[in-house]
């Protein structure tokens, strides 16, 4: 299998963490691409986005939640809690909603960075303000969130979003006003899978 990714992309990082958490490294070749300039990526993913995972039968999976759930199934993981009569059903929806919140923060952070790369006369202050407001509101919500151990895809998605903000938007200084989130993230960031996938 080939994972089209980039070492800075928070969505790619989710898949790369799942691969490492479930010891799937020898099954997946990671191919670093620039999504803005890779014809090969556009051939496998018409959206031109990373991550994309090509399977050995020639098919392709796109969108990090889909790719991560496939990898979780392949590795027999528990990162996506199931819905059985034995298990608390809400566990699955909590994990998926936390993933959606983490991905939404990453979406807003990536959009803010892309906006800043446009020619100054085309940049929209209103758009940047909106992206930053989404990030701030969502981080405030996470300050009151309950994070689980063992972690799920929700915890992984939030950690990838925070790692991206640290890398690209350190001026947000999100730790200053969110001590609970800081304490959880700083411990989570010590995991081997997080250390092996630091944005570079
Ligand atoms: N919902 C997608 C988002 C993926 C995404 O936005 N990836 C960015 C890089 S971090 C990208 O490929 N951007 C290129 C573009 O939008 O043209 C996912 O979860 O995989």
- Tell me the mean pLDDT in the region 64-72: 98
The average pLDDT across 23-43 equals 97
Domain ranges of the chain: 2-74, 90-195
Give 2-74's CATH code, choosing from 3.40.50.300, 3.40.50.2300, 1.10.10.60, 3.40.30.10.
3.40.30.10
Q: In the predicted model, what is the mean pLDDT of the chain?
A: 96
Taking only the tens place, the pLDDT of each residue in 142-198 is 999 999 999 999 999 999 999 999 999 999 999 999 999 999 999 999 999 999 999
- The answer to whether 142 and 3 are in contact (CB under 8 A) is no
- Of 89 and 82, the structure prediction assigns the larger pLDDT to 82
Second-level CATH architecture of 90-195: Up-down Bundle (1.20)
Pocket around ligand 1 at a 6 A CB cut-off: 9-11, 35, 48-51, 63-64, 103, 110
Residue 82 has a pLDDT of 79
Q: Which atom of ligand 1 is nearest to the CA of 9?
A: 10
CA nearest ligand 1 atom 10, residue? 9
Q: Has residue 103 got a pLDDT over 70?
A: yes
């Amino acid at each position: 299998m080939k994972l089209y990714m980039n070492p800075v992309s928070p969505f790619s990082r989710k898949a790369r963490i799942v691969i490492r958490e479930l010891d799937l490294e020898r099954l997946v070749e990671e191919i670093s691409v620039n999504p803005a300039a890779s014809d090969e990526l556009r051939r496998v993913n018409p959206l031109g986005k990373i991550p994309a995972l090509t399977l050995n039968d020639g098919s392709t999976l796109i969108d990090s939640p889909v790719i991560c759930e496939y990898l979780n199934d392949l590795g027999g993981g528990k990162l996506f809690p199931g819905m059985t009569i034995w298990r608390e059903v809400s566990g699955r929806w909590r994990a998926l909603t936390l993933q959606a919140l983490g991905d939404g923060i990453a979406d807003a952070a990536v959009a803010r960075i892309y906006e800043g790369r446009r020619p100054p006369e085309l940049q929209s202050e209103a758009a940047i303000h909106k992206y930053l407001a989404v990030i701030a509101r969502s981080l405030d919500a996470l300050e009151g969130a309950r994070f689980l151990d063992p972690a799920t895809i929700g915890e992984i998605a939030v950690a990838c979003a925070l790692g991206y903000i640290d890398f690209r938007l350190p001026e947000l200084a999100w730790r200053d006003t969110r001590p609970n989130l800081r304490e959880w993230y700083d411990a989570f960031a010590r995991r081997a899978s997080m250390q092996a996938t630091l944005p570079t």
